[in-house]
Amino acid sequence: MEEYPIPHQYICIEGNIGSGKTSLATKLAKLYNGKLILEQFTDNPFLPYFYSDPERYAFPVEIFFMTERHKQLQKHILTPDLFANHIFADYAFTKTLLFAKNNLNQEEFRIFQHLFQLLESPFPNPDLLVYLHRSTDKLLQLIEERGRAMESPITAGYLTTIQNSYFEYFRNVTEYPILIIDVQEMDFVKNKDHLDEIIKLISQRYNPGVHRVSIH
């Protein structure tokens, strides 16, 4: 889109479960002819069992996610693409640690964190991380609407815990800009005006640290 050129090369779209990460990343990659990196969550054989019995399946589900994300980013981030000016991903590798911290017990997390630190070292920070914020009630509504049976056990309490983990992490980030966009009532999949509003924000330059924007 020539109207809103994006100055960032590597952009991560983040947010809570059901916030619209994949939809926005896919839209942006198509509009800007960029490389698209999507998390292959359906490939995780432990995920359906995790939502029903998190204590038992948390460690294998998080290990699987971490190794798959590492493999995917190693392939797409560390290998230059001469034909793509932008990379749009629907996750940041840091997500791995945030979810694990919530889902694992203390001993499991200690082991997991050590493995994470070994794996994350080669990856660059995103040039911009966009966090799509919605209330837990709205997230539950969207999760129900998309109808994934394995997500039916997800509670408002779990979503709130995940959200708080993101915000706690963001407060300590000084290396790259984080753009938190309140998209509570936005439908950027069906409404082009809503999508354009988000693109206008992404097309701007930001200093490192957190920037909060609400679109009405």
Nearest one of 3, 21, 19, 2 to 11, comparing CA atoms = 21
Contacts of 200 (CB under 8 A, 6+ apart): 4
Nearest one of 85, 78, 81 to 5, comparing CA atoms = 85
- Give 28-75 pLDDT, tens digit per residue: 999 999 999 999 877 889 988 998 899 999 999 999 999 999 999 999
Which of helix, strand or coil describes residue 79? coil
Nearest one of 129, 126, 95 to 17, comparing CA atoms = 95
Reported pTM: 0.93
Q: Where are the beta strands (DSSP E) in the chain?
A: 10-15, 35-37, 87-89, 128-133, 177-182, 209-214
Residue 3 predicted with pLDDT over 80:
no
Which domains are present in the chain? Answer: 10-214 (3.40.50.300)
Q: How confident is the model at residue 188 (pLDDT cuts 50, 70, 90)?
A: very high
d(C-alpha 165, C-alpha 152), whole Å: 22
Q: How confident is the model at residue 78 (pLDDT cuts 50, 70, 90)?
A: confident
